[in-house]
């Protein structure tokens, strides 16, 4: 069921968005060559405790998960692109890291992700991140009343296709509210002017993610981490966005 929020509820969702943005800002600043993924998780966990927030991941145990997630952050490195379970791994020069973080503050969830390179970047990795970011921007621009859900999906697909990337439709965006995953599903490609009519009060996570040379993934032996079928690297960008009468409101915007 798709739920719409009142303007007052959207206001109540701002602190969660701000907190998630602040945690990602801190993680981006901390991520560097020589930093362990477990240190990044510990930093996010400390910020959750300090804020009195609640992790959406710690006890997360969906049907496709092998066991409760047990960490507060997803850290996906190189050929891993989504759901990366933080492990004892020290970041190396040129690693492409995606961090995905969701938490609840005052009973409302926000969800956001960002990709970056630590140390010396490969040109093609910077380009992949830039295209993914541009797809997110195009999708956000389409998140206005009067459009349809398919317009958001199409905006993502257009940017990817123009860059010669193929798109995986298995995992995409989702409604966000009291819990992390609600309706509607927001695919990373679709047909314009089709699907659910976008209305004021719809709050969704929009999250394009692409791999260099494939759209196929497999699950790592850890039961969570999703890796590219051909070993190519991936990027992932996500914001939680409220559709308002004044246009898209990016709740997780980093300043
Ligand atoms: Mg997320």
pLDDT digits (tens, 9 = 90+) for 21-43: 999 999 999 999 999 999 999 99
Instruction: Flag whether 118 is in a domain.
Output: yes
Structure tokens at 219: 């699950």
Instruction: Flag whether 55 is in a domain.
Output: yes
Neighbours of ion ligand 1 (CB under 5 A): 100, 111, 113, 238
Domain that holds residue 239: 7-250
Query: Ligand 1 mean position to 76 CA, how many Å?
Result: 12
Query: Ligand 1 mean position to 112 CA, how many Å?
Result: 5
Instruction: Flag whether 57 is in a domain.
Output: yes
- Give the pLDDT of residue 167: 97
Query: Ligand 1 mean position to 123 CA, how many Å?
Result: 26
CB-based contact 217:89 (threshold 8 Å): no
Query: Ligand 1 mean position to 7 CA, how many Å?
Result: 23
Please identify which residue in the block is written with the tokens 């009343």.
145
Q: How many residues does the chain have?
A: 255
Closest of 53, 51, 61, 105 to residue 83, by C-alpha: 61
Instruction: Flag whether 255 is in a domain.
Output: no
3-state DSSP assignment of residue 136: helix
pLDDT < 70 positions in the chain = none
Q: pLDDT tens digits, residue range 43-80?
A: 999 999 999 999 999 888 877 777 889 999 999 999 99
How many domains does the structure of the chain reveal?
A: 1
Instruction: Flag whether 90 is in a domain.
Output: yes
How many CB atoms are located within 10 Å of the residue 52 CB?
9
The three-state (H, E, C) secondary structure of the chain, written as one string: CCCCCCHHHHHHHHHHHHHHHHHHHHHHHHCCCCCEHHHHHHHHHHHHHHHCCEECCCCCCCCCCCCCCCCCCEEEECCEEECCCCCCCECCCCCEEEEEEEEEECCEEEEEEEEEECCCCCHHHHHHHHHHHHHHHHHHHCCCECEEHHHHHHHHHHHHHHCCCCCCCCCCEEECCCCCCEEEEECCCCCCCCCCECCCCCEEEECCEEECCCCCEEECCCCCCEEECCCCCEEECEEEEEEECCEEEECCCCC
In CATH, what number is assigned to the domain containing residue 184? 3.90.230.10
Query: Ligand 1 mean position to 3 CA, how many Å?
Result: 19
Instruction: Flag whether 1 is in a domain.
Output: no
Instruction: Flag whether 173 is in a domain.
Output: yes
Query: Ligand 1 mean position to 234 CA, how many Å?
Result: 15
Query: Ligand 1 mean position to 102 CA, how many Å?
Result: 6
Instruction: Flag whether 203 is in a domain.
Output: yes
pTM recorded for the entire structure: 0.97
Query: Ligand 1 mean position to 87 CA, how many Å?
Result: 18
């Amino acid at each position: 069921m798709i739920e719409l929020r009142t303007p007052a509820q959207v206001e109540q969702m701002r602190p969660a968005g701000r907190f998630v943005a602040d945690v990602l800002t801190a993680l981006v600043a901390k991520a560097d060559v020589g930093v362990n993924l477990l240190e990044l998780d510990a930093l996010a966990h400390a910020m959750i405790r300090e804020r009195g927030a609640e992790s959406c991941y710690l006890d997360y145990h969906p049907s496709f998960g092998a066991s409760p997630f047990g960490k507060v952050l997803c850290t996906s490195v190189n050929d891993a692109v989504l759901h990366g379970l933080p492990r004892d791994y020290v970041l190396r020069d040129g690693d492409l890291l995606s961090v995905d973080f969701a938490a609840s503050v005052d009973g409302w969830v926000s969800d956001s992700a960002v990709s970056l390179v630590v140390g010396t970047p490969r040109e093609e990795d910077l380009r992949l991140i830039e295209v993914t970011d541009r797809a997110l921007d195009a999708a956000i621009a389409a998140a206005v009343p009067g459009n349809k859900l398919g317009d958001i999906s199409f905006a993502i697909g257009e940017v990817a296709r123009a860059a010669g990337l193929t798109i995986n439709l298995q995992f995409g965006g989702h409604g966000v509210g009291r819990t992390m995953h609600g309706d509607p599903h927001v695919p990373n490609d679709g047909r314009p002017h089709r699907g659910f009519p976008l209305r004021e009060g719809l709050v969704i996570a929009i999250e394009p993610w692409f791999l260099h040379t494939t759209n196929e993934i497999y699950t790592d032996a850890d039961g969570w981490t999703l890796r590219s079928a051909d070993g190519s690297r991936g990027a992932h960008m996500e914001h939680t966005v409220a559709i308002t009468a004044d246009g898209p409101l990016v709740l997780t915007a980093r300043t």
